[in-house]
Amino acid sequence: MLALPNLNKTGQLALAALLVGAVALTGCDKSGETANNAEGAAKSSGGEKADEFKAGANADMFTFVVSADPETFDTAKMSGAPEGRLAMQLFEGLLIPGPTTEGITDSSKLVKPGVAESYEVSEDGKTYTFKIREDAKWSNGDPVTAQDFVYSWKRVLTPGFPADYATMMYVIKGAEEYNKSKEGEADWSKVGLEAKDDQTLVVELNNPTPYFPELVAFYTFFPTPQKVVEKHGDDWTKPENIVTNGAYVLKSYEPQKELLLGINEHYWDEENVSITEAKARIITDRNAVTNAYRAGELHWSGTSLPVSQISSFVAHPDYRRDPMLGTYYFRVNVSKEDSPLNDKKVRQALSLATDRQTLVDNVLNGLYHAADAYVPNNMAGYESTTKTEYNPRKAKALLKEAGYGKDAKKFPQIQLLYNTDENHKLVAESIQKQWKSNLGIDVELVNKEWKMYLQDVDNLDYQVARAGWIGDYNDPMTFLDMWETGNGNNDTGWSNAEYDELLDQARSEADSAKRQELLQKAETILLEEGPVIPIYFYTNNVLVARQLEGLEPHNRDIHLLKYVSLPQ
């Protein structure tokens, strides 16, 4: 657009100095650094810079980050992580998640009393009777009763109500039928939910469901204030109208900026809540999160750090790497006509030719754990019996058996779909190289923007696609039931009658040892059949002010501020 001016010698020197300066300054910016050289940088700079900043030094109150603007404060409608994090502070279910999942093998110990001070389970494991505490109150002083739960759960299940997670309630007797019935024809009397009196809630389930206590601690099962909803309609969640029953109330909300939380004076456990005011800053860009943390404006980074920046934090005392209940994997589409991927042996070969450990160590800086199974290995009370392996020789042999290789037909090029993200790109490129060198397979990488990627996966318009799954509760079922025939999350076209049968049996099995065995068998089938190729187990890489107490690692990244204190 602009012509270069005619420069004399002085001018040329000045220009050169400016350009060199600009390039040098740009080089200082770590945001463009790739993960490949991050480890080295960590060793050279991380240690020296460790104490240059102090978390929260410039914050006026306890401040943390939510990664996006909450789409809604209505717990019945929400399904995203940012909304969930806020819902956990504002509302409270019958039970609440404990402060940590570390070292807990008995899944019933993962939750603590919430609105319900206790509960009883019938012998067959199908009926739960919750005793609601008398001092449970809404933030306007009204008591929280069993009827509030009946009202709010019915609201979630109402046909046509836009509740993303209504399916979570299908474990309740009659809930699925009610939710799927046509508007006007739904019969609530057949749903196994009853408020015997203000303090007693009885829930009948279809099957013994060992993870039900964890489900009722999930936001979809939170109570909704009936009077407020009826008074304000959809506007009941506006800061000026909202009434909550958790440890905190919503004092103000500025979109894209911040939310202020204050203590709920009517909360039953108010005296044990240490942090009385908190600020949730909404910061979408992860580099901006680390900048704010460096500037001492945050006590907790809230979201996982960008891979490119982790190197400068690994040596810092505030840095934490918490295991997550999540798996990064590849989906394999088995529904396309004439696709080599329809052959089980080919899918097995692809999995055997994947060197997960090398990928995690060399490409992802050891930030995650190589997936040796599909169900994460930190699942409380469960251990996978079949392990993934790296065996290129066996992989080659299998591919040959499938009719590809020397003296046979050439394996056609396949496409690997991933959504735009530096991490996904690194993983895809690495796997592309591994499959080429181990099997001689040509892989074309296809990068799409998130919504387009979702559409392709939803329409089964792909061959292999990256994916990730974070468990909704601590039970293998949350990872395994999505691969059942007809499940809306399956998205591979894969179907296996034996697998479906095993999960059905597991659902009605009251004996936990037998149940685990059935689920292990199902996982074995899944790994052998290969509609999924596990890559790594997620970890949560965060910064937490070291003086903070009570913000323990949680494998679903659920943290209740009521457990946290900030000693001065």
Site for another protein in 246-265 (CB under 8 A): 254-257
Residue 251: DSSP 8-state: E
For residues 478 and 214, the answer to whether their CB atoms sit within 8 Å is no
Binding to another protein by CB under 8 A, coded x per residue (else -) over 169-208, reads -------------xx-------------------------
Distance CA 328, CA 157 (A): 31
For residues 543 and 319, the answer to whether their CB atoms sit within 8 Å is yes
For residues 388 and 371, the answer to whether their CB atoms sit within 8 Å is yes
Measured from the CB atom, the residue of 350 and 375 that comes closer to another protein is 375
User: Among candidates 165, 140, 155, 154, which has minimal Cα distance to 234?
Assistant: 155
Q: Is 233 in the site for another protein (CB under 8 A)?
A: no
270 CB burial (10 A radius; 0-12, 13-18, 19+): middle
Q: Binding another protein by CB under 8 A: which of 127, 200, 284, 512?
A: 284
Please give the size of the binding site for another protein, defined by CB under 8 A.
66
Q: Compute the least distance from the CB of residue 236 to another protein, in Å.
A: 10
Q: Compute the least distance from the CB of residue 548 to another protein, in Å.
A: 21
Stretch that binds another protein, among 24-32, 92-100, 116-124, 218-226 (CB under 8 A): 24-32
Q: Compute the least distance from the CB of residue 77 to another protein, in Å.
A: 8
User: Among candidates 420, 385, 399, which has minimal Cα distance to 345?
Assistant: 399
192 CB burial (10 A radius; 0-12, 13-18, 19+): middle
Q: Is 403 in the site for another protein (CB under 8 A)?
A: no
Any residues with CB less than 8 A from the CB of 28 and at least 6 apart, and which?
none
Measured from the CB atom, the residue of 126 and 286 that comes closer to another protein is 286
130-141: buried (b, 16+ CB within 10 Å) or exposed (e) per residue? Answer: bbbbeebbbbee
Q: Compute the least distance from the CB of residue 314 to another protein, in Å.
A: 19
Q: Compute the least distance from the CB of residue 401 to another protein, in Å.
A: 35
Stretch that binds another protein, among 36-44, 282-290, 343-351, 379-387 (CB under 8 A): 282-290
Q: Compute the least distance from the CB of residue 229 to another protein, in Å.
A: 13
Q: Binding another protein by CB under 8 A: which of 29, 123, 240, 271?
A: 29
Q: Which amino acid would we find at residue 213?
A: P
DSSP 510-561: --HHHHHHHHHHHHHHHHHH-SEEEEEEEEEEEEB-TT-BS----TT----G
Q: Binding another protein by CB under 8 A: which of 34, 383, 413, 452?
A: 452
Measured from the CB atom, the residue of 183 and 338 that comes closer to another protein is 183
Stretch that binds another protein, among 117-125, 408-416, 447-455, 512-520 (CB under 8 A): 447-455
Residue 355: DSSP 8-state: -
Measured from the CB atom, the residue of 164 and 269 that comes closer to another protein is 164
Measured from the CB atom, the residue of 160 and 317 that comes closer to another protein is 160
Site for another protein in 45-84 (CB under 8 A): 58, 69-74, 79
Q: Binding another protein by CB under 8 A: which of 166, 532, 542, 561?
A: 166
Q: Is 288 in the site for another protein (CB under 8 A)?
A: yes
Stretch that binds another protein, among 9-17, 320-328, 493-501, 517-525 (CB under 8 A): 9-17
Q: Binding another protein by CB under 8 A: which of 20, 31, 120, 188?
A: 31
Tokens (6 digits) for 174: 């009659």
User: Among candidates 149, 182, 154, which has minimal Cα distance to 166?
Assistant: 154
Binding to another protein by CB under 8 A, coded x per residue (else -) over 473-492, reads --------------xxx---
Quote the longest CA-to-CA distance of the chain. 93
Any residues with CB less than 8 A from the CB of 94 and at least 6 apart, and which?
114, 115, 116, 119, 130, 132, 149, 201, 216, 217, 221
Measured from the CB atom, the residue of 167 and 505 that comes closer to another protein is 167
Binding to another protein by CB under 8 A, coded x per residue (else -) over 333-372, reads ----------------------------------------
Distance CA 226, CA 152 (A): 8
Residue 14: DSSP 8-state: H
Measured from the CB atom, the residue of 19 and 510 that comes closer to another protein is 19
Q: Is 20 in the site for another protein (CB under 8 A)?
A: no
Residue 181: DSSP 8-state: S
State the CB neighbour count (10 A cutoff) for residue 528: 13
For residues 443 and 414, the answer to whether their CB atoms sit within 8 Å is yes
Measured from the CB atom, the residue of 282 and 480 that comes closer to another protein is 282
Using alpha carbons only, give the angle 450, 453, 458 rounded to the nearest 5 degrees.
125
Q: Is 157 in the site for another protein (CB under 8 A)?
A: no
Q: Is 103 in the site for another protein (CB under 8 A)?
A: no
Chain centroid to Cα 515, Å, comes to 25
**Residues in contact with another protein by the rule CB under 8 A:** 1-2, 4-8, 10-11, 14-15, 18-19, 22, 25-26, 28-29, 31, 58, 69-74, 79, 160-167, 182-183, 234, 237, 254-257, 281-285, 287-288, 291-292, 294-295, 297, 449-452, 454-455, 458-459, 487-489
